[in-house]
Structure 1
Amino acid sequence: MTHIDTITLLIERHTDADGLTETGIEGVKLFRAVDSVPCQPVVYEPCLIALASGAKEVALDGTRHVYSSKQYLCCPLSMPIQAGTSTASAENPLYGVYISLNPRKMTELAVEIENHGSALRKSDEGSNSLAIRLADWDDPFAEALLRLLQLVDAPVDKSVLADARLRELYYTILRGEIGAFARNAFGVGNAISRAIAYVSENLGEPLAIDDLAERAGMSRAVFHRKFKSATAMSPIQFVKTMRLNTAAMKISEGATISQAAMDVGYLSPSQFSREFKRLYGQTPRQWSEALTTLPS
């Protein structure tokens, strides 16, 4: 039996409903989907999503990405995404693993690797994008993921070894196919990463682009150019999309439309409704009502 077969069976055994299932390992969740769900607005925090079977799709600023079994998505920043499981079914279930990436630990490990590594992969060099990247599972990644997930069935081992095995998995990401991309995103001195973290933590407050540029130590023009290169969006577009995606998520979780708008910094309900419809093609109320028709 291959590593992926073992991982798939483990996920299947521990998930009895669609959605995320806690593993008892901090930041590590299993997920299953047997219902087809179109892309919906979400906000990805720094994470890795590894698929053992089935396929997922994500859209970022109009660009659609589809990834399937034995592939993983790495998102090192807080990013406004649209994600769905349009091909999932009972006959073709989606099984996967969601792993939060701790920025501090990833940065420490990235610096350690850069300080000691003399033969690092350079395949990603030349790309400044920090948004998302897809990669195929290689043997070190599959082995590290299996070793991490085997802790789910071993409570004593889990309490003792979880941190070490997470670090091992982080290491395979930073040394693997997208290693240069991940090391660049988590490396020290990445001013764009810091600016995005600040936006994510302060969505309900006024956010001026000049202030973000100053925090990054750049002129407005340089900040705009580097930000768009990293995220595929202008700073203004990014802030607006983060706010609207976060509000959409809050509405889907039961918040009222007015409360969701206020939580992400909108003082004018009409402006919120207008910008929401411009982005999603529906008013907040129409979108909220459409949620009831999706599989639970």
Structure 2
Amino acid sequence: MSKEQIRHLVEKSVHEDGLMDTGVAGVKLFRASDPVPCAPAVYEPSVIAIVNGVKEAVLDGKRYVYDSSQYMCCPISMPVEAGTPAASRETPLLGIYISLDTRVMTELAIELESVAGASRMQNDPAIPQGFTLARWDDGFTEALLRLLQLSQSPADMTVLGEGRLRELYYAILKGDAGSAARRAFGVGNEIARAIRYLSTRLSEPVTIEEIADQAGMSRAVFHRKFRQATTMSPLQFVKAMRLNHAAMKIAGGKTVNEAALDVGYVSSSQFSREFKRMYGQSPRQWGQAAHPSARLA
């Protein structure tokens, strides 16, 4: 019943395609009623919960399809392809986008680990991936409903919004996506810290040794753990992040040269070659196609 209430709240609030602010920082509702093929995007740390329709994402060649039975949790920045190929006027995609605030998630993850026992996580050799699908459990569903119900009162939203969002974060940390989220924000978050470091320096030349140093690891150990967390090698990840950011910038109206420079390419010809190799189109062809999914991932 709670999930139906959530769907009703979203349907009642969003009448046009696009993103809509809820009044709580980082929480948005969205609607898409036209099919959009998967296109390059960058998922920042976030959760996406679908209440109607189906959404798709492709990470390193693996396709993830999710609907109202699972929510998507991406606790670290990831280069993906995302779209809404099945959306239609009859069956629009409806959902909630929740940005994961690093400070609050870190506080909660460390507090949760201190209660549950951080040693258990530190001794676990598995590195949860930076992209996962999680079951809508009772904790997540009830917390999300309580957060969205605040939209009925601006005063409640202002006074209680931050606390209800914190409650939702806690439900995520305790749910099926909790292992990946705790690893990204709590004890043992070396790979996540390295990715945050990299994400702020896409326009600069950065070596793998430099990123490994940020994680406090040797190059070999860093390479192995990075691939476990992201499914890609560090070099593949850097290239995908730069090209996906560039694709989004071009779709947003920047020129090919501007986009190339913004993500650290000095040679426009090299940028064009690598872009076409990854996406099957030249940057100019990509811009002319005006991919909407690069703006609404």
1:189 shift after superposition: 3.9
Read off the aligned partner of 2:238 and give its amino acid letter: V
Shift in alpha-carbon separation, 1:117–1:22, aligned structure 2, 3 A: same
Read off the aligned partner of 2:70 and give its amino acid letter: Q
Shift in alpha-carbon separation, 1:266–1:27, aligned structure 2, 3 A: same
Q: Quick one: percent identity of the two aligned structures? A: 59
**3-state DSSP class of the match of 2:204?**
coil
Shift in alpha-carbon separation, 1:279–1:129, aligned structure 2, 3 A: farther
Alpha-carbon RMSD across the aligned residues, in angstroms, is 1.8
Read off the aligned partner of 2:277 and give its amino acid letter: R
1:126 shift after superposition: 5.7
Residue 115 in structure 1 maps to residue 111 in structure 2:
no
Residue 205 in structure 1 maps to residue 213 in structure 2:
no
| TM-score, with structure 2 as normaliser | 0.93
Instruction: Give 2:17's aligned residue.
Output: 18
**3-state DSSP class of the match of 2:264?**
coil
Number of residue pairs the alignment of both structures matches:
290
CA shift digits 1:257-277 (9 cap, x unpaired): 110110000010000000001
Instruction: Give 1:215's aligned residue.
Output: 214
Looking at structure 2, the residues matched to 208 and 182 of structure 1 have their Cα atoms a distance apart, in angstroms, of: 27
In structure 2, stretches of 5+ residues that fail to align are: none
Contact 2:130 2:180 in 1 (8 A): no
Residue 243 in structure 1 maps to residue 242 in structure 2:
yes
Read off the aligned partner of 2:221 and give its amino acid letter: V
Residue 134 in structure 1 maps to residue 129 in structure 2:
no
Shift in alpha-carbon separation, 1:49–1:156, aligned structure 2, 3 A: same
Higher relative contact order (CA 8 A, sep 6+): 2
Looking at structure 2, the residues matched to 211 and 257 of structure 1 have their Cα atoms a distance apart, in angstroms, of: 29
Instruction: Give 2:252's aligned residue.
Output: 253
**3-state DSSP class of the match of 2:236?**
helix
Looking at structure 2, the residues matched to 293 and 167 of structure 1 have their Cα atoms a distance apart, in angstroms, of: 32
Question: Where in structure 2 are the equivalents of 1:85-164 lying within 5 Å?
Answer: 85-117=84-116, 127-164=126-163
Looking at structure 1, the residues matched to 85 and 216 of structure 2 have their Cα atoms a distance apart, in angstroms, of: 42
Contact 2:251 2:291 in 1 (8 A): no
Looking at structure 2, the residues matched to 260 and 189 of structure 1 have their Cα atoms a distance apart, in angstroms, of: 34
Deviates more, 1:181-190 or 1:212-221: 181-190
Looking at structure 1, the residues matched to 100 and 6 of structure 2 have their Cα atoms a distance apart, in angstroms, of: 20
Contact 2:50 2:95 in 1 (8 A): yes
Shift in alpha-carbon separation, 1:27–1:266, aligned structure 2, 3 A: same
Looking at structure 2, the residues matched to 199 and 254 of structure 1 have their Cα atoms a distance apart, in angstroms, of: 25
Looking at structure 2, the residues matched to 177 and 240 of structure 1 have their Cα atoms a distance apart, in angstroms, of: 30
| TM-score, with structure 1 as normaliser | 0.94
